[in-house]
Amino acid sequence: MTKKGSTKVLKTQCVGKVHKIDKNKTFVTRPNPGKHTLKKVVSLGYVLRDILHLTENNRESIYLLRNKEVIVDKKPAKTINLAIGLFDIIEFPKIKKSYKVIYKQNALITLIEINSDETKYKLCKIVKKLITKKGEIQLVTNDGRTVITTNQAYKTKASIKLDLEDNTIKEYYPLEKARKVFLIGGKHIGKSGTIISISKGNMIKKELVKLKIDDKEFETTQNNVFVIN
């Protein structure tokens, strides 16, 4: 009989650029599908063992999860295969530590420590906007989250500051001139800059955003920017 279902491991040659590859290992823990895209995530097991060094193996990581010692986006993590991606919030109540996921300038995923107030909110990019049968606005974000609202002003490519406890929008950051952005792609990934101008795209040409970083100006595609303020 053939094996059914997906494997729980992934060959190192198939992981994305955000994943640091150990040449001595053939496999890594495979992130579950659904949250973010596979090339842009690492597994929670990888975060616990290889980034934070809180555990030495998957058995120890699973023990932490069974004791509800790991909280991701205000929900207890249940599997080491949970996909961890950009701006996810990870909390460890027992040791009173909290982290936010970002990209390094070499495109690798890393974590920065944050305070307890910062864990309440998460930045999300609007990737799709739909209208429900009831006439409500349904926003789909970069991490697969769905937000229902009645405000029609929200647009795709913009970002929202989301309250993780009640799934409501606290602030809105449109893609426009003078906004601060975080680079999530291209050779400047991991850097922050300010929008100078935006060149609208068409069916042939992609939408371009002109940015300024440390007195240097350059253009990149809209897909590479994430508005953060």
Instruction: Tell me the pLDDT tens digit for each residue of 178-199.
Output: 999 999 999 999 999 999 999 9
Summarize the confidence of residues 43-55 as an average pLDDT: 93
Residue 208 structural domain:
180-227
Q: Is residue 3 part of a domain?
A: no
Compute the Cα dihedral for 39, 43, 47, 49 and give only its sign: negative
> Is 85 in the same domain as 166?
no
Q: Report the domain count for the chain.
A: 3
> Is 14 in the same domain as 110?
yes
pTM given for the model: 0.89
Query: What are the pLDDT digits (tens) for 19-44?
Result: 676 656 656 778 887 777 778 899 99
Q: What is the CA radius of gyration of the chain?
A: 19
Q: Identify the band that residue 1 occupies on the pLDDT scale cut at 50, 70 and 90.
A: very low
Please list the alpha-helical segments (H only) found in the chain: 44-46, 58-66
Task: Give the integer Cα–Cα distance in Å for 120 and 128.
Answer: 24
Q: Identify the band that residue 13 occupies on the pLDDT scale cut at 50, 70 and 90.
A: low
Check pLDDT > 70 for residue 7.
Answer: no
Q: Is residue 2 part of a domain?
A: no
Q: Is residue 215 part of a domain?
A: yes
CATH number at residue 102: 3.10.290.10
For 93, 212, 213, the CA distances from 218, given in Å and listed in that order, are: 42, 7, 8
Q: Is residue 125 part of a domain?
A: yes
Query: What are the pLDDT digits (tens) for 199-226?
Result: 998 888 899 999 999 999 999 999 999 9
Closest CA to 153 of 179, 129, 134: 129
> Is 52 in the same domain as 135?
no
